[in-house]
Structure 1
Amino acid sequence: MLTPDMTASLNAQINLELQSSNLYLQMSCWCAFKSLDGCAAFLAQHAEEERTHMQKLITYLNETGALVELTAIPAPTARYDSLQELFEQVLEHEQHVTDAINKLVHQAHQTPDYATYQFLQWYVAEQHQEEFLFKSVLDKIKLIGTDHQGVFFIDKEIGALATPPAAGTGVADPTTAAVAQ
């Protein structure tokens, strides 16, 4: 059984994952508006991934008999000055999520709540991968440059990182997710 404090902290993380999903969906919409179809697909896929992270937390709380409480989340920024600014904000946001996960892990260890501590280890590894991925995206942007042709090539590179939909579903197959190299 979860303590009330751990339940509240896990609920806060659920809402942060929902906020992340909305942020990436809005960023995807901005990219689509700017005809950056590769970036739009990549960010839409990440919006779905964040919803999956949220659902894992919801399932965990449900399994422990705790009440899930969804709260209002702030509206994401809809406009960006550049693709580089957008991905800088993505990396900054992922670093914020990593900090929140680390605080949850620390809380679970201190409680002690070893089941939750073990459950959260997946999120620790996931955040390491997310930060690496988005740092590599920013590195590509800086390497290629953002002149008109540069943005075209960046869009192609980032679009290549998106996992193609599973046959006949229109949904990315998570078992074949691309890994930044």
Structure 2
Amino acid sequence: MKDIVRQKIGINVDVMDLLNEQIAKEAHSAAAYLAMASWCDHNGLVYSADFFYKQSNEEREHMLKIFKFINENGGTAYSPEVSNINHEFNSLQEIFETALDQEIQISKSIHNIVTKCRKVMDYGTENFLQWFIQEQMEEENQFRRILEMFDLMGTDGLALKLIDERIKHGE
């Protein structure tokens, strides 16, 4: 019976499996951003902490968007286990570098799913993923702009406080 149900879903089975892997990646990102927010809170960088709390919520929303898409199309979405979250950082700059690397990996994963969609002609899922492609481009750009501030302003106490303030205002 399980095989019959998998044949009648609205998305390709292999694509569904990749989407479930993406759910796990989004959940991991959400948890990683919580750890980053905690580090920022602990180090008196309250605006950066707020930024990462919001990032964590966004990643969870992305996870749920994919989760619901799978279920709404007759597939089975799986709630992921989250482990191996880093809580140790040396600086705010390191956190933002780590976050950018994480976003780049998420982008590559989504591009991989789109490539699979095209190979198996799963146009509905490919269309669904277009929103994620645009979102990832925006996310990567945001982190690159923040990292540029470190290059321009430095990483000492006053520069760090100014960067934290600019993050508050979304500059």
TM-score normalized with structure 2 length: 0.92
The equivalent position to 1:150 in structure 2, one of 144, 149, 159, is: 159
2: distance between equivalents of 1:75 and 1:40? Answer: 21
Indicate the residue corresponding to 1:173 in structure 2. Answer: none
Point out where structure 1 has 5 or more consecutive residues left out of the alignment.
162-179
Which secondary structure does the structure 2 equivalent of 1:67 belong to?
coil
Post-superposition shift, 1:98? 0.5
**Is 1:139 equivalent to 2:156 in the alignment?**
no
2: distance between equivalents of 1:41 and 1:86? Answer: 14
Which secondary structure does the structure 1 equivalent of 2:87 belong to?
coil
Alignment deviations for residues 83-127 of structure 1 (CA, whole Å, 9 cap, x no partner): 111111011110000100000110111111000010000001001
2: distance between equivalents of 1:14 and 1:29? Answer: 23
Which secondary structure does the structure 2 equivalent of 1:38 belong to?
helix
- One-letter amino acid of the counterpart of residue 141, structure 2: F
The equivalent position to 1:80 in structure 2, one of 85, 89, 96, is: 89
Indicate the residue corresponding to 1:15 in structure 2. Answer: 24
Post-superposition shift, 1:4? 2.0
Q: Which has the larger radius of gyration?
A: 2
Larger helix share, 1 or 2: 2
- One-letter amino acid of the counterpart of residue 30, structure 1: W
2: distance between equivalents of 1:160 and 1:24? Answer: 19
Post-superposition shift, 1:134? 0.3
The equivalent position to 2:61 in structure 1, one of 43, 46, 52, is: 52
The equivalent position to 1:103 in structure 2, one of 97, 112, 115, is: 112
Which structure 1 residue ranges, 4+ long, deviate > 4 Å from structure 2?
Answer: none
Which secondary structure does the structure 1 equivalent of 2:99 belong to?
helix
Contact 2:68 2:77 in 1 (8 A): no
**Is 1:127 equivalent to 2:127 in the alignment?**
no
TM-score normalized with structure 1 length: 0.87
2: distance between equivalents of 1:75 and 1:42? Answer: 22
Q: How many residues align?
A: 162
2: distance between equivalents of 1:79 and 1:160? Answer: 26
Indicate the residue corresponding to 1:176 in structure 2. Answer: none
Point out where structure 2 has 5 or more consecutive residues left out of the alignment.
1-9
- One-letter amino acid of the counterpart of residue 45, structure 1: K
Post-superposition shift, 1:69? 1.1
Alignment deviations for residues 30-49 of structure 1 (CA, whole Å, 9 cap, x no partner): 00000100100001001000
- One-letter amino acid of the counterpart of residue 93, structure 2: Q
1: distance between equivalents of 2:141 and 2:35? Answer: 22
1: distance between equivalents of 2:80 and 2:106? Answer: 17
2: distance between equivalents of 1:124 and 1:9? Answer: 15
